[in-house]
Structure 1
Amino acid sequence: MTTATGLSFREATLADVAELVALIESAYRGDASRAGWTTEADLLHGQRTDPEGVAAVVTTPGSRMLVAEREGLIVACCQLEERGGVGYFGMFAVRPGHQGGGLGRQVLAEAERRERERGAEQMHMTVIVQRTELIGYYERRGYRRTGELHPFPYGDERFGLPQRHDLAFELLVKTL
């Protein structure tokens, strides 16, 4: 599907893994992420994901990585996963230089459309509670905070090196 803005969507393949890892890392961590507004660089250092994690999303039944391309360049991605009749939205990344212009909103809308089409009645996601600006972004798009907290996986460097001792994830939910 190609939108009026020249954005096309497809499901990722294993051939995309290296490019997706680079995109996700650039959107969340390190100095490159500071070019956008969704950085976690002050909360977490180290990696956000790795090739094995992205490959698992691409190859696990019931899970997929939605890719957004413009002129042959992957500009955004997100994980979609079936979790007992509920859609789970994660690993959302937009190239830092492309943030702030509505691209993320288009990707989120497409992800919700695909999950609705699949039969999901709700979309779930988890967001680090300290990311109030990001939570506000999702609230403006119809997600509601549940107050349900999940612990951050301290000690598992696959998720980064925490710079604080009070990190936790909050479940956000939207009825589709």
Structure 2
Amino acid sequence: MITIATLEDASALEKLINSAYRGETSKKGWATEANLLEGKRITLDELEETIQNKNNTILKYTENNQIIGSVLLTNKGDKLYLGMFAISPELQNKGIGKKLLQEAEVNALSLGLSKIVMTVITIRKELIEWYKRHGYVDTGVREPFLLNDYDTIITDQHLEFIVLEKIL
């Protein structure tokens, strides 16, 4: 079931998001960043702040009272920004991500927005291809990868973001 996350979900979401992106647990899934970065993807305080921001909606995918997927949607006025997309590493490749992407599109249209944009680290080719299979295209725009205080880059490869978009 996909519903909107609330502050009460913050702790479970923080665990899910960090386990999907970083650390040993994330390596059980194919969408990990653990070979590129160490540290937390997000802190509990940042997540609570994100949830409280009126421009943000976090959709959560719940099964058996457990949050196993989530995505951040930010209303940017003329487009919807999609970020912090996380699926429990053990449950990736089961269609949960596809359902969350579809619900993001419903959310965008309900806000009168006909474009969804996102950023993905450029060297994450497999992930970029997955998004392309779901209708996203490379805009040609690249943005710098900025570290937060608790990130450590553990790769020699240059990190930057590709901007992908989908017109609905």
What TM-score comes out, normalization by structure 1 length? Answer: 0.91
Shift of 1:85: 1.8
Which residue of the partner structure matches residue 104 of structure 2? 111
Shift of 1:157: 2.4
Tell me, in whole angstroms, the C-alpha distance in 2 between the residues paired with 1:124 and 1:75.
23
Tell me, in whole angstroms, the C-alpha distance in 2 between the residues paired with 1:161 and 1:18.
23
Please say if residues 35 and 155 of structure 2, whose CA atoms lie closer than 8 Å, have aligned partners that are also in contact: no
> For 1:173, which of 139, 160, 165 is the aligned residue?
165
Q: Is the partner of 2:51 in helix, strand or coil?
A: helix
Please say if residues 130 and 167 of structure 1, whose CA atoms lie closer than 8 Å, have aligned partners that are also in contact: yes
Shift of 1:167: 0.4
Tell me, in whole angstroms, the C-alpha distance in 2 between the residues paired with 1:164 and 1:151.
16
Shift of 1:117: 1.5
Please say if residues 61 and 96 of structure 2, whose CA atoms lie closer than 8 Å, have aligned partners that are also in contact: no
Q: Which amino acid aligns with 2:153?
A: P
> For 1:68, which of 41, 61, 66 is the aligned residue?
61
C-alpha root-mean-square deviation of aligned residues, in Å? 1.1
Q: Structure 1 vs Structure 2: percent identity of aligned residues? A: 37
> For 1:39, which of 32, 41, 59 is the aligned residue?
32
Shift of 1:12: 0.9
Q: State the aligned residue count.
A: 167
Tell me, in whole angstroms, the C-alpha distance in 1 between the residues paired with 2:9 and 2:44.
10
- 4+ residue stretches of structure 1 with deviation over 2 A? none
Which ranges in structure 2 are unaligned for 5 or more consecutive residues? none
Shift of 1:88: 0.5
Cα offsets for 1:50-109 (capped at 9, x unmatched):
112211221101111111111211010000010022001001000011101111111111
1:163 corresponds to 2:154: yes
Q: Which amino acid aligns with 1:103?
A: I
1:149 corresponds to 2:142: yes
Tell me, in whole angstroms, the C-alpha distance in 2 between the residues paired with 1:34 and 1:124.
26
Please say if residues 47 and 157 of structure 1, whose CA atoms lie closer than 8 Å, have aligned partners that are also in contact: no
Which residue of the partner structure matches residue 5 of structure 1? none
Q: Which amino acid aligns with 1:33?
A: S
Tell me, in whole angstroms, the C-alpha distance in 1 between the residues paired with 2:149 and 2:94.
32
Cα offsets for 1:123-152 (capped at 9, x unmatched):
000000010000000000000011211111
Q: Which amino acid aligns with 1:171?
A: V
Q: Which amino acid aligns with 1:22?
A: K
Q: Which amino acid aligns with 1:16?
A: D
Tell me, in whole angstroms, the C-alpha distance in 2 between the residues paired with 1:60 and 1:51.
14
Tell me, in whole angstroms, the C-alpha distance in 2 between the residues paired with 1:98 and 1:72.
15
Which ranges in structure 1 are unaligned for 5 or more consecutive residues? 1-7
1:125 corresponds to 2:118: yes
